[in-house]
Amino acid sequence: QVQLVESGGGLVQAGGSLRLSCAASGRTFNGYVMAWFRQGPGKEREFVASMRWSADFALYADSVKGRFTISRDNAKNTVYLQMNSLKAEDTAVYYCAAKSGIYSYTDKDTYPIWGQGTQVTVSS
């Protein structure tokens, strides 16, 4: 059974940093695309960052470019989202997602595998 489990969320002051983790299990993710999405209060779920498991390509939303970094540890089968210079508008539930194929990196409807989410709250 394929499973994604996020962790690392919490409360942080504006300007601070957090690192989210997404532990993947149940299959090998070589060839998969891994992504982070977020859903703020009263908002639609939106794309944050994605990467191919091979780590040769990564894509970021304009709102987080230069502040967030997506990466993975092959040995631990874990994907990370390093978030720096956090802003109040980054407050959201952050979800890890996975899919096979290499198209539509930013479209949440193309990702069939999701974690349960982890809350990130940034106080201003």
Tens-digit pLDDT profile for residues 95-119: 999 999 778 899 999 999 999 999 9
Q: Write down the pLDDT at residue 55.
A: 73
Q: Write down the pLDDT at residue 74.
A: 87
12-53 residue pLDDT tens: 999 999 999 999 999 888 889 999 999 999 999 999 999 998
Q: Write down the pLDDT at residue 121.
A: 98
The residues, any chain, with a CB within 8 Å of residue 11's CB and separated by 6 or more, are 121, 122, 123
User: How many CB atoms lie under 10 A from the CB of residue 22?
Assistant: 26
Q: What is the CA radius of gyration of the chain?
A: 13
How far apart are alpha carbons 88 and 40 in whole angstroms?
11
User: Mean pLDDT, to the nearest integer, of 58-63?
Assistant: 97
Q: Is 90 exposed, middle or buried, given 0-12, 13-18 or 19+ CB atoms closer than 10 A? A: buried
pLDDT band at 2 (very low <50, low <70, confident <90, very high): confident
How far apart are alpha carbons 103 and 57 in whole angstroms?
12
How far apart are alpha carbons 105 and 87 in whole angstroms?
24
